[in-house]
């Protein structure tokens, strides 16, 4: 029973492989910086810092950022 | 300062301008170029027609590939903060005037593997009454066709608080954070990301400069972040959408919706307008500016010296809107410049779906940010 | 138990792209080049190094000077490097070539039929084909450390040519 379930899950996952089945040579657009999620830029840090100092929500995107006594 | 510790963090500065595509096809491949950026922030806010806080923050950041399979990055920032913030609610009189320098730095080392990467990071921040140290470890793993990347991270920060008014001395705050995320390529023009975060903090959370501020000594926070980048073939522009759900044990629930549109123009120019909508509920122990009939301001009704309470506007229920515009220019193969202006306004009446906290004046803020970048 | 293992293996095999095996005949291609067509069939008898590249691929900028060096050093001994460009817009490729010139053959395949027939797993990718038209190696990526290994593979392939 257990192995049948495992096989069914694997079959489902390989089906899932058809979502976003983009080939390596088709990734020209995805390579553009505005298409990535790399946002450790100076402006992102400034903005994150400002919002954390003026609102109660914080974080979401990274770990281990230091704190501050920001008023 | 919340810092993103994703590997190859400065790769977004290596803009794929017509002349110099330097970005990797795989998110987790080592960078081919290094970059150094020098930036400046000018922030001012105002309330009730009076200026409140001004911040001038020069910073420098550097990212360098090392030995083909490593990269090192670091940044330094100095916040020059001055002005007055209210002692309670938006009270102008008796506002605590301050002038402080905060210096912060962080460094991260990434090792790129065949199908992923590992990053260790450290951050340090110091001001005259607050010192923060943090460490983090983050890893990523790509599927064989590199269309899906899993990310997991753990971080810990240790803060020491010693306010000048000596309301408390030698206090600490320790926070551990966890992150789990997945990035999925959807089509040749679409990529999405989902990240779950959990933070567990204990120690001193109160604001010593706010009157009678007494917050719980633990704080548990959960965040869910969803992002979607979509390239529009017709205009060659890209829409970047972000949604974040936040909830914590203080009773705060916040929704953030951000939308950016990156439009490349001729001659290496790029224009990026931005809109951000934010709404939050008040913390369970936040009290409105309605004061005890006998004791007067700033005492909450029925004040008896015990219990959690805060008159900090940041813990009230409100909505906020940001409008921003960024202009970037790729000057030549190596140099580029970015400039951004934004306007922010926060109002109790703008809270979405529910009543916001009454009785607080709107808070307005403007920022100007500039960065000069050089690759090598 | 064995049946289940075989079913598992079949499922896994089905989900991954068809990569080329060593010793398999290299798929044919006939593509427009910078001056004239490039046909793999015409290069029979030479050791052919096929490199799949694009203007948006960072490591390609490092691989080009190395490929120029290899073509100069071993061209006389029977090596022919063919850089197959897979940019959707070939103009982007021509732009790349003005700043990073190629002293080897360049072919354009904007439809991506050739990388698909070779089962390419990453960008850039290179395939070394022997004089008999059979695949000797398939390599993904291009890092500093790869140069020596790739050059020695080219040398041993040429060693077999008389």
Helix (H, G, I), strand (E, B) or coil at B63: strand
Q: Quote the pLDDT of residue B22.
A: 34
B294–chain A nearest CA distance, Å: 30
Helix (H, G, I), strand (E, B) or coil at C105: strand
For residues C5-23, give the mean pLDDT.
Answer: 60
Binning pLDDT at 50, 70 and 90, where does residue B32 land? confident
Cβ proximity of C128 and C47 under 8 Å? yes
For residues B270-289, give the mean pLDDT.
Answer: 97
List Cβ neighbours of B373 (8 Å cut-off, separation of 6 or more). B13, B35, B36, B37, B335, B336, B337, B338
Q: Quote the pLDDT of residue B28.
A: 72
Cβ proximity of B157 and B124 under 8 Å? no
B67: alpha, beta or left, given left = phi > 0 and alpha = psi -120 to 50?
left
Tokens of residue B351, six digits: 């809270």
What does chain C come to in residues?
162
More confident residue, A6 or B24: A6
**Closest chain C residue to B112, measured at CA:** C143
Lowest mean pLDDT among A31-40, B230-239, B345-354: A31-40
In chain A, which among 37-66 make CB contacts under 8 A with chain B?
37-46, 48-66
Residue A6 has pLDDT above 80, yes or no: no
Query: Using a CB-CB distance cutoff of 8 angstroms, which residues of chain C are in contact with residue A23?
Result: 17, 112, 115-116, 120
For residues C100-112, give the mean pLDDT.
Answer: 96
Q: Quote the pLDDT of residue C35.
A: 82
Burial B15-29 (b: 16+ CB within 10 A, else e): bbbeebbbbbbbbbb
Interface test with A, best of C54, C91, C95 (most A CBs within 10 A): C54
Q: What is the pLDDT of residues B233-275, one digit of tens each?
A: 999 999 999 999 999 999 999 999 999 999 999 999 999 999 9
Q: What is the pLDDT of residues B292-338, one digit of tens each?
A: 989 888 899 988 888 999 999 999 999 999 999 999 999 998 999 99
Q: Quote the pLDDT of residue A5.
A: 55
A9–chain B Cβ distance below 8 A for any pair: no
Give the Cα separation of C23 and C137 in Å (integer). 9
Give the Cα separation of B242 and A60 in Å (integer). 11
Strand (E) or helix (H) holding C63:
helix C60-74
- From the centroid of its chain, how far is CA C102? 15
In what side-by-side order are the strands of the sheet with C79-85?
C36-39, C30-33, C105-108, C79-85, C47-53, C125-129, C135-140
Outline where DSSP puts E strands in C24-145. Answer: 30-33, 36-39, 47-53, 79-85, 105-108, 125-129, 135-140
More confident residue, C1 or B156: B156
Residue C9 has pLDDT above 60, yes or no: no
B215–chain A nearest CA distance, Å: 13
Residue B54 has pLDDT above 90, yes or no: yes
Residue B35 has pLDDT above 80, yes or no: yes
Q: Quote the pLDDT of residue A10.
A: 52
C63–chain A nearest CA distance, Å: 17
Tokens of residue B290, six digits: 């309605």
Do B161 and A36 count as a contact with CB atoms less than 8 A apart?
no
Give the Cα separation of A40 and C69 in Å (integer). 37
A24–chain C Cβ distance below 8 A for any pair: yes
For residues C5-28, give the mean pLDDT.
Answer: 67
Do C56 and B68 count as a contact with CB atoms less than 8 A apart?
no
């Amino acid at each position: 029973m257990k192995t049948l379930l495992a096989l069914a899950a694997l079959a489902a996952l390989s089906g899932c492989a058809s979502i976003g089945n983009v080939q390596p040579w088709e990734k020209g657009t995805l390579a553009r910086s505005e298409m990535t999620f790399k946002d450790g830029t100076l402006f992102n840090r400034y903005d994150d810092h400002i919002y954390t100092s003026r609102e109660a929500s914080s974080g979401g995107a990274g770990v281990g950022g230091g704190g501050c006594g920001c008023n | 300062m919340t810092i993103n510790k994703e590997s190859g963090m400065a790769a977004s500065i290596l803009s794929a301008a017509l002349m110099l595509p330097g970005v990797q096809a795989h998110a987790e491949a080592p960078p081919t170029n290094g970059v150094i950026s020098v930036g400046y922030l000018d922030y001012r806010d105002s309330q009730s027609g009076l200026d409140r806080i001004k911040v001038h923050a020069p910073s420098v950041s550097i990212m360098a590939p090392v030995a083909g399979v490593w990269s090192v990055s670091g940044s330094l920032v100095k916040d020059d903060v001055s002005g007055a913030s209210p002692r309670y609610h938006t009270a102008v009189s008796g506002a605590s005037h301050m002038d402080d320098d905060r210096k912060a730095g962080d460094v991260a080392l990434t090792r790129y593997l065949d199908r992923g990467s590992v990053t260790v990071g450290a951050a340090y921040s110091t001001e005259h009454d607050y010192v923060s140290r943090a460490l983090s470890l983050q890893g990523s793993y790509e599927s064989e066709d590199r269309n899906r990347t899993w990310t997991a991270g753990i971080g810990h920060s240790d803060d020491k608080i010693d306010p000048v008014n000596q309301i408390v001395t030698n206090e600490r705050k320790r926070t551990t954070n966890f992150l789990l995320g997945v990035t999925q390529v959807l089509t040749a023009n679409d990529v999405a990301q989902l990240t779950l975060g959990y933070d567990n903090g204990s120690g001193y959370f109160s604001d010593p400069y706010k009157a009678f501020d007494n917050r719980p000594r633990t704080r548990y926070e959960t965040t869910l972040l969803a992002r979607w980048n979509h390239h529009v073939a017709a205009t060659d522009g890209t829409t970047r959408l972000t949604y974040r759900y936040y909830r914590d044990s203080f009773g705060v629930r916040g929704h953030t919706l951000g939308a950016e549109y990156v439009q490349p123009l001729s001659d290496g120019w790029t224009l990026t307008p931005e809109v951000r909508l934010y709404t939050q509920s008040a913390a369970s122990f936040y009290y409105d500016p309605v004061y005890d009939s006998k004791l007067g301001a700033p005492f909450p009704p029925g004040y008896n010296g015990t219990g959690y309470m805060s008159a900090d506007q940041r813990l009230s229920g409100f909505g906020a809107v940001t409008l921003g515009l960024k202009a970037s220019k790729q000057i030549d193969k190596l140099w580029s410049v970015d400039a951004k202006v934004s306007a922010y306004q926060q109002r109790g009446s703008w809270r979405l779906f529910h009543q916001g906290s009454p009785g607080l004046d709107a808070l307005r803020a403007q920022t100007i940010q500039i960065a000069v970048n050089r690759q090598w | 138990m064995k049946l289940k293992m075989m079913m598992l293996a079949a499922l896994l095999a089905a989900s991954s792209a068809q990569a080329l095996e060593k010793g398999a005949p290299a798929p044919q291609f006939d593509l427009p080049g910078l001056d004239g067509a490039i046909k793999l069939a015409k290069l029979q008898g030479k050791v052919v190094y096929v490199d799949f590249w694009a203007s948006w691929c960072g490591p390609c900028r490092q691989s080009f000077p190395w490929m120029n060096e290899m073509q100069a050093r071993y061209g006389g001994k029977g090596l022919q490097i063919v850089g197959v460009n897979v940019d959707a817009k070939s103009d982007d490729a021509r732009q790349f070539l003005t700043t990073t010139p190629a002293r080897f053959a360049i072919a354009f395949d904007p439809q991506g039929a050739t990388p698909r027939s070779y089962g390419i797993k990453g960008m850039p990718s290179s395939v070394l084909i022997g004089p008999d038209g059979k695949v000797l190696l398939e390599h993904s990526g291009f890092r500093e450390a790869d140069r020596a290994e790739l050059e020695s593979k080219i040398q041993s392939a040429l060693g077999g040519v008389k």
